[in-house]
Structure 1
Amino acid sequence: MLYAFSTSELMDRPDLWQAVHSLRHSIFVDEMGWDDLRRPDGLEIDQFDHEEATHHLVVRNGELAGYQRMLPTTRPHLLTEVLTDLYEGTPPCGPDVFELTRYAVAKPYREGRWGVSSVGSELIAGFIEWGMTRGVDKVIIEFEPMWVLRALQLRFLAQPLGYQRTYGRQQVVATLLTFDETTLRTVREKRNFDAAVLAQGEPDFIGYRKAS
């Protein structure tokens, strides 16, 4: 299941907060080579972990298995403040557009091709469900170009916002993804799982297992 937390709610759970920022550091700094984010405490934290951010956590077997962060585009966000060379013109914004950042699947849960495991598809289904209950039908995401095709196969309308650039060890392109009920149905069909993934309450959590 996928659990949604505000930043203050996440900070009220120090075990979850620690696991989230440790997972982010492991993936985005250690794996992807974003060395500007490196910290001696092994936690990845930035200025966008503010009070309007929403954190999505997938918990499996009591462990943090996946994570992503949703940022409103009605205030400064990653694309407009940091990754400014990824867009041409004016990036889309509004209450129906969020930026999806820090999408991450922990190594022990990457059993699928391209890392698209059941945890990864749960994160995708989760942000669609979360958005559709809030009048949000678009996300901006910065990812590898191959994911544009993958998004189209899942029935997202995918619109690149600029040219691809190199960050760390990755080629990255900023893309606007528009989704609807057809997208959600397609994602569920690919997952072979029809039930909603967005959960209420808090997860039973043991810890975060960092793979060697």
Structure 2
Amino acid sequence: MIHIVTPQNIHLYQDEMEQAYRLRHRIFVDEMKWTDLAKPDGREIDQFDNEHAVHMLCVADGKVLGYQRMLPSTRPHLLSDILPQLCEDERPVGAHIWEWTRYCVDPAHRERGRALSPVANALLSGIVEWGLESGINTIIIEMNPLWLLRLVQLHFRTIPLGLPQSVGGQDVVAVTASFDRRTLLRLQEMRGDSRRVLIQPQQTRPMRLAG
């Protein structure tokens, strides 16, 4: 299940957010070698982890298996403040456009081959469900160009904002990816389950057994 963490409920997710920051450090610093993000405490946190960020956690049995962060395009975000060179034309801005960042999945729960892993599918489905319910239909992504075909296969409508450039020793392209109900149906079809992945509003935190 995907948990939405906002400034209003982040105090209920202190342990899970601690796990998420450490997962980010393991993936982006230790694995991907983005050494500029390294922190002595092993927690990857930046200036965009603020009151405007929406965090999405994939949690199972109290463990964070996957994470992603959404940032409003109407506020400072990666494309506007850190990687503006990736956008060759007018930067996409609007209440219906958010930036998708810091996507990461625990190595033990990643896909093998071309199929999305259950955690990856749940995270993407969470974006689409949340977006459809929040008046959001487009995300900005800075990603490896190889992801372009994957997104099209998932029924996102992608538009590159410029040519790929080297960032941290890797090719990165900025795109907008729009989605609608058909995208959600495609993700549901791929996992063979049409149930909602976002927890219901009254479920404000993961269930824990006493003892």
Scaled by the length of structure 2, the TM-score of the pair is 0.92
Deviates more, 1:6-15 or 1:19-28: 6-15
Q: Say if 2:125 is the partner of 1:125.
A: yes
What is the match of residue 95 of structure 1?
95
The offset of 1:17, in angstroms, is 2.0
- 2:23 matched to 1:23? yes
Supply the AA of the counterpart residue of 1:39.
K
Higher mean C-alpha displacement, 169-178 vs 113-122: 113-122
> Residues 165, 114 of structure 1: CA spacing in aligned structure 2 closer, same or farther, 3 A cutoff?
farther
Structure 1 residues 127-136 or 106-115, which shifts more? 106-115
* Structure-2 residue corresponding to 1:186: 186
Q: In structure 2, what is the equivalent of residue 73 of structure 1?
A: 73
Task: Tell me the equivalent position of 1:177.
Answer: 177
What percent of counterpart residues are identical? 44
Measured in 2, the distance between the counterparts of 1:196 and 1:133 equals 12
Residue 110 of structure 1: aligned partner: 110
**Amino acid in structure 2 at the alignment position of 1:198:** L
Query: In structure 1, the residue corresponding to 2:148 is in which secondary structure?
Result: helix
Shift of 1:34: 1.0
Matched residue type, 2:74: T
Kindly report which structure 2 residues correspond to 1:132-211, keeping only aligned pairs within 5 A, or say none. Answer: 132-200=132-200, 201=203, 202-204=205-207
Matched position secondary structure for 1:113: coil
User: Alpha-carbon deviation of 1:193?
Assistant: 1.4
Q: Which AA in structure 2 matches 1:134?
A: S
* Number of residue pairs the alignment of both structures matches: 206
What do the CA deviations read for 1:41-98 (whole angstroms, capped 9, x no partner)?
0000011011111000001232100100010001111111001121112211100000
What is the SS of the residue equivalent to 1:69? Answer: strand
Shift of 1:33: 1.4
Kept in 2: contact 1:10–1:16 (CA 8 A): no
Contact 2:99 2:141 in 1 (8 A): yes
CA distance in 2, matches of 1:144, 1:115: 17
Q: Separation in 2 of the partners of 1:82 and 1:39?
A: 19
Partner of 1:35: 35
Per-residue CA distance 1:176-209 (angstroms, 9 max, x = gap): 0000011110111111111110113211369xxx
Q: Which runs of 5+ in 2 are unaligned?
A: none
Aligned partners of 2:16 and 2:63 also within 8 Å: no
Q: Aligned equivalents of 2:35 and 2:7: distance in 1? A: 24
Q: C-alpha separation between the residues in 2 aligned to 1:127 and 1:28?
A: 21
Partner of 1:209: none
CA RMSD of aligned residues (A): 1.7
| Residues 29, 114 of structure 1: alpha-carbon distance in 2 compared, 3 angstrom cutoff | farther
